[in-house]
Amino acid sequence: MMMSNNQIRLDQYTQEAYLDYAMYVILDRALPHVSDGLKPVQRRIVYAMSELGLKASSKYKKSARTIGDVIGKFHPHGDVACYEAMVLMAQDFSYRYPLVDGHGNWGSVDDPKSFAAMRYTESRLTAYADLLLSELGQGTSSWQLNFDGSLTEPVSLPARIPNILLNGGSGIAVGMATDIPPHNMGEVLDAVIHLVQNPDAAIEKLCEYVKAPDFPMGADIITSQKELIQMYKTGVGQIRLRGKYAVEQNNLVFYQLPFQSSSSKIVKQIADAMLAKQLPGVTDVRDESDHEHKVRVVIELKSMTKFKDQTLAALFALTDIEKTMRANFNMIGINKKPETKNLKQILSEWIIYRKQTITLRMQFEYEKIKRRLEILNGLLLVFIHIDQIIQIIRHHQEPKLALMDKFELSEIQAEAILEMKLRQLAGLEYIALEKEKEGLEKNEAELAYLLNHSQAFDQNFIEEIKEIREKYGDDRRSQLIDTPVMTYTVAKATVPDYVVKVVVSKEGWVRTFRSMEQSDSSLTFRSGDSLFSTFDARSTQSCFVLTSDGRIYNVPIHQMPGPRGYGEPLSKFVDLKSDILSVGVVSPNDTWLICVDSGYGFLLSSEHMAVTQKAGKAVFTLKEHEALLPLIAVKTDELLLMVTSQGRMLACEINTVNQLAKGRGVKLIGIKKDEYDCQKDRLNHVLSLSEQDHGILRSGSRHLNLDADRLASTKGVRASRGKLLPQGFRQVSGLEKLIKEQGRDESETV
């Protein structure tokens, strides 16, 4: 198809537009840069505050003033989002080393978003922020135009420390995310020094310095050293945090909680566990956090000696007192590309960046000294030829040119002489200039030596790092604890074990009876509702629910209501989105067959039927117009009996069917696609029989015995078409298994 010059194919335009947007989000919004550890909005806030003179030693200024400058000059986005980024950098419970010193309400540990509006709060930079800004005006940074081309802003800040590790960061981009935990400054800087001295150092050696992340609010890290080293090797992993507590009489007092945990949420979790009788030793819980105690959660026990260990195990399992943090060291590298990096890559790239910055700073200082020495040489000339210079100034119309010609001066030297004041001609001033020249010449020589000798340069780099570590370094807040993760099973530990009868109605209402003598005929239901299924179970088990959209849900039976009224809807416990197809008990070592009327299916183990999410889990991938059949319990040494709507029957070995966690499985019986599409043939009935079992096939009022000979005649290979049933039995209404009990046969309808 011909297109004019101003036209472009839609698919090409869409691809380019999406790629441009993705790269914009990745590079300019979501991911921090390895050089200064900041995202663009954070960098612009810090730079704008420095331009406003809001250093750590200055007075506080309204936050709205800063945000106005940021969005007006550098970051034309929403003021609320920009202010939230500023708030995050001011919260000492969010940032290990805050960049903003906030005055007023900047949120709390319990509710980080409870901060006051920007018109009420005041702010300035912290002393730590100076480590990112102090070298900014010394030729160390590349500059770029702002969004409208009227101003310039730094591409990155000349960070004197690896802020990317010290404060970490999190963000979600297009197709990628980052979760970098914060670290201790002293440990990271020690690792930097070691890597400068030993560029080939292994990550295991660096992990002797950087032992683990270090979170602002403390809490213990219970992740093993092996897992932490693996995390630093791959750049991806998990950190398990556990709150710290003290024992006060019969109280457990938690004074440190995992990163980004809320004390009020934890109190609610404990209260819910108490209502569910999962904390039998706890009598009360209260949140005593205040201005003096940022975190103080008090848990009263009946007896410390009797219930302490049991309660702690339950608290760690049921609440956020113990939680796992993701780690994904994804960032923009010095090559301007996003990448998940290991510890050595991060430190090595920052060292390269820092060395480049120091080199630019030294070159800037060197050129500055050279210019000053040039001026000093010209000024000192005045004291030697003072009379001639005065005569030239008095009698020449262009004294600058005359001085340059007479004494072979540069333009800069001549201008400095002409701008010199008379009081500077005193003898003491000459001595001061000579002294200044001597000092500058010494500095010039030192800088030249450092720039030309890599070993001396590296040693100077190390000395700078040591000075920063001495001034800003602090103790680790998150201690590494070598302790196993405490295991806790709700059902076995706290739920009474007894037999119940579970009743489920067609509308999805559920209730339980302790009496096994409750007959189905005596059950009552809401108007328009009726019985769907009943089954026996134990209170420690879970009930599975399979819905027509192929999702499985689990409901703990001990949470189900008792026999009063009509019970409660299953939707109270799980997020049902389709009709209920099957219900039953999740028991260990059980195997179930899940299949659709198009003839596909697979085996599902009890392990894969266990679901913790309220939203359930998709186990079968349905195609358009397909319908699931109810689940049937099977054993792998049995025969699978299948009957289609055309009256074809096939028996095959169940062990030829795959066992999967989810999907569509394999073809169980052959059904032609065109016959299925026009609804001429579908899988209607399935039954599992052992070699000793007999079955009955019902067709209206008639029935056909399925004895060993009959089963043998219909046995075939899985996925084959099967054989037609005798005339008069092809409209099958049900399959039943004969169960022998006390000398008589009973049929079980399936």
- Ramachandran angles phi, psi of 677, nearest 5°: -60, -35
Residues 6+ apart with CB under 8 A from 695: 641, 687, 689, 705, 706, 711, 735, 736, 737, 738
Max CA distance (Å), the chain: 140
For 51-85, how does the pLDDT look when each residue is reduced to its tens digit (9 = 90+)? 999 999 999 999 999 999 999 999 988 999 999 99
Residue 3 scores a pLDDT above 70: no
- As separate numbers, helices (DSSP H) first and strands (DSSP E) second, the chain gives 21, 36
Q: Do residues 83 and 116 share a domain?
A: yes
Among 5-19, 311-325, 385-399, the range scoring the smallest mean pLDDT is: 5-19
**Measured between alpha carbons, how far apart are the two ends of the chain, in Å?**
60
Question: pLDDT per residue over 619-662, tens digit each?
Answer: 999 998 899 999 999 998 999 999 999 999 999 999 999 999 99
Residue 398 domain-assigned (yes or no)? no
Q: Determine the pLDDT at residue 171.
A: 86
Say if residue 538 is in the same domain as residue 667.
Answer: no
| pLDDT(335) > 60 | yes
Are residues 132 and 63 part of one domain? yes
Domain range for 266: 244-320
**Does residue 282 share a domain with residue 255?**
yes
Q: Is residue 733 part of a domain?
A: yes
* Mean of pLDDT over the chain: 89
pLDDT of residue 565: 86
* Final residue before a domain boundary, out of 586, 605, 635: 586
User: How many Cα atoms are found within 13 Å in the side-chain-facing hemisphere of 374?
Assistant: 14
Mean per-residue pLDDT, 288-309: 87
CATH number of the domain encompassing residue 612 = 2.120.10.90
In a domain, 325, yes or no: no
Q: Given this model, what pLDDT does residue 749 score? A: 41
Tell me which DSSP letter residue 422 carries: G
Whether residue 745 has pLDDT greater than 50: no
Decide which of 271, 297, 320 is a domain's last residue. Answer: 320
- Report pLDDT digits (tens) over 361-414: 999 999 999 999 998 888 888 878 888 888 888 888 888 898 888 888 888 888
Does residue 268 lie in a domain region? yes
Burial-class residue 483 by CB neighbours within 10 Å (0-12, 13-18, 19+).
exposed
| 419 domain residue, yes or no | no
118 and 46 share one domain: yes
Cβ proximity of 687 and 737 under 8 Å: yes
Same domain, 659 and 638: yes
Q: What angle do CA 481, 483, 487 make, to 5 degrees?
A: 135
pLDDT at 502 over 70: yes
What CATH number corresponds to the domain at position 280? 3.30.1360.40
Measured CA to CA in angstroms, residue 699 lies from 86, 689, 705 at distances of 74, 19, 11
CA atoms within 13 A on the CB side of 416: 18
Same domain assignment for residues 503 and 579: yes
Is 120 a catalytic site residue? yes
The pTM score is: 0.67
- Given a cut of 50, is residue 492 above it in pLDDT? no
643 and 706: one domain? yes
Report whether pLDDT(150) > 60. yes
Kindly name the residue from 120, 255, 353, 566 that is annotated as catalytic: 120
Q: Among 345-354, 396-405, 427-436, which range has the highest average pLDDT? A: 345-354
Number of domains observed in the structure of the chain: 4
pLDDT for the residue numbered 739: 62
* pLDDT at 747 exceeding the cut of 70: no
Residue 432 has pLDDT above 90, yes or no: no
* Among candidate residues 564, 586, 608, the one where a domain is terminated: 586
Select the more confidently predicted residue: 192 or 15: 192
684/572 same-domain check: no
563 and 691 inside one domain: no
- What single string gives the DSSP state of each residue in 53-66? T--TTS--EEHHHH
Q: How far apart are CA 102 and CA 232, in angstroms?
A: 33
CATH number at residue 85: 3.90.199.10
Residues 671 and 603 in one domain: yes
pLDDT of residue 742: 41
Kindly tell me the burial class for residue 604, based on how many C-beta atoms sit within 10 Å of its own C-beta (0-12, 13-18, 19 or more). buried
Reported as a single tens digit per residue, the pLDDT across 559-616 is: 899 888 899 999 989 989 899 999 999 888 889 999 999 999 999 998 888 888 888 9
Residue 488 lies in a domain: no
Predicted pLDDT at 24: 61
DSSP 707: -
pLDDT for position 384? 80
Model confidence at 489: pLDDT above 60? no
Q: What is the pLDDT of residue 748?
A: 43
| pLDDT of 1 strictly over 70 | no
Are residues 76 and 132 both part of a single domain? yes
Q: Quick check: is 351 in a domain?
A: no
Q: Is there a domain that residue 26 lies in?
A: no
